[in-house]
Amino acid sequence: MKKIYPLLLDSITPESKASNGFLKDNSLDDLIETYMGNLLGDRVFIFFQGNLPITVQVKDQKSPIIVSPDDETALPRYGIWGKERMLYILSATEDSSIWIGFKKNLNATDIYERCQSGNILDAMNEIGPEEGETFYIRPGVPFCIGEGVRYVEVAQNSPADFNIEETDQLVEALDFINLSACNPEYVAPESCLFRMERVAISKPQTIAPDQTESFMAIVNLDNSTSLRAKDLRGTTETTEENFINLSGNSSLALIPHDIQELTISPSQEGENPTSSFLRIYMCNIPEPPKEEDEEEDEHEHHCGCDAHHHDHCHDHCHDHCDDDDCHC
């Protein structure tokens, strides 16, 4: 089987198709089935049982008022993952708005009556988004994206979205909606399953994707950014499989976990070539649950002591940024 290489995509979803190299037109779902941990990372592949754990999409349409449960609610109730998400604002018009969470404490009756009368947005925090801002949306916190906003959304790969403007979906979601007043969050908590970092460079940077727990996504933001990976022979000869040039706003590449070395270079245009991009990867992946016989063996040989510890994802952004303008 040929070795996998950086994939050029228009989004990261199971249905997304590669547009470069010998894997062109293969869906990401099929590629995961073929390359497994070599693409996702072994720990990610095992814990998420071969499923794509997050999606990365560029969106520019107005959304309904959405709320999603957390894993603790969604897994036993629906048999699916919950959903936490992060937004990066690519552009926004002067009069555009987004709404996140409630300005004051509400109860179930308040939210039901407001949704029925169509004035629920009046009770939510309204924000005029600006280019480059990030927003973390916790499970349970309702949000809405208005017209005129173009953004990157990174989210757990789950259909657990409830439109609370629809009565039946509102009723289903009432027990996990956060009805307390909350301030919008601009930074993801340490417990978040993924990281989204803005990186700005003015010279080539070399990173090792296989030193993280997972695959990596690169979303270009301005100018152009080239990605060069070592090929099967360990060389960096420019081929269709090991070289990608991302140009314009929001072109996207997926870097498999199996890539040992990736050189990221800025645009060579102008006197001071620079580029900026988002780097997205998984972290805080729990250990897979043990089988009962494994637990018994550990108790027998280790006196019941827990010898397993979670790996903590450390911040890579500042190792590769030329400035401090990153959102971790």
Domain holding 166: CATH number? Answer: 2.60.120.10
Q: Is 2 within a domain?
A: yes
Task: Name the H helices within 98-140.
Answer: 108-117
Range of the domain at 46: 1-53+193-298
Q: How many CB atoms lie within 10 A of CB 303?
A: 7
Q: What's the DSSP call for residue 16?
A: -
Domain count, the chain: 2
| Same domain, residue pair 161 and 78 | yes
Looking at residue 289, its pLDDT comes to 63
* Nearest of 255, 278, 214, 260 to residue 48 by alpha carbon: 214
Q: Is 255 within a domain?
A: yes
Q: Is 294 within a domain?
A: yes
| Same domain, residue pair 64 and 116 | yes
Q: Where does a domain end: 149, 170, 190? A: 190
Q: Are 275 and 225 in contact (CB under 8 A)?
A: yes
| Same domain, residue pair 87 and 164 | yes
Q: DSSP 3-state assignment of 181? A: strand
Q: Is 3 within a domain?
A: yes
* Strand order, beta sheet including 194-201: 7-9, 252-255, 216-222, 275-282, 194-201
| Same domain, residue pair 250 and 174 | no
For the chain (length 328 residues), average pLDDT per consecutive 10? 90 95 95 96 94 97 97 96 97 97 96 94 97 97 98 98 97 96 96 95 86 90 88 52 82 92 82 87 82 51 37 39 45
Q: Which residues contact 293 (CB under 8 A, 6 or more apart)?
A: none
Q: Are 218 and 212 in contact (CB under 8 A)?
A: no
Q: Is 273 within a domain?
A: yes
Give pTM, 2 decimals: 0.85
| Same domain, residue pair 30 and 101 | no
Q: Is 112 within a domain?
A: yes
Q: What's the DSSP call for residue 30?
A: H
- Buried/exposed code over 10-28 (b: 16+ C-beta within 10 A; e: otherwise): ebbbeebbbebbebeebeb
* Strand order, beta sheet including 85-92: 54-59, 149-156, 85-92, 134-137
| Same domain, residue pair 22 and 86 | no
Tokens at residue 122, please? Answer: 């009046």
Tokens at residue 71, please? Answer: 């894993």
Backbone angle region of 234, left / alpha / beta, with phi > 0 → left and psi within -120 to 50 → alpha? left
DSSP for 209-255, written as a single string: GGGSSS-EEEEEEESEEEEEE--TTS-----TTTEEEEESTT-EEEE
Q: Are 66 and 162 in contact (CB under 8 A)?
A: yes
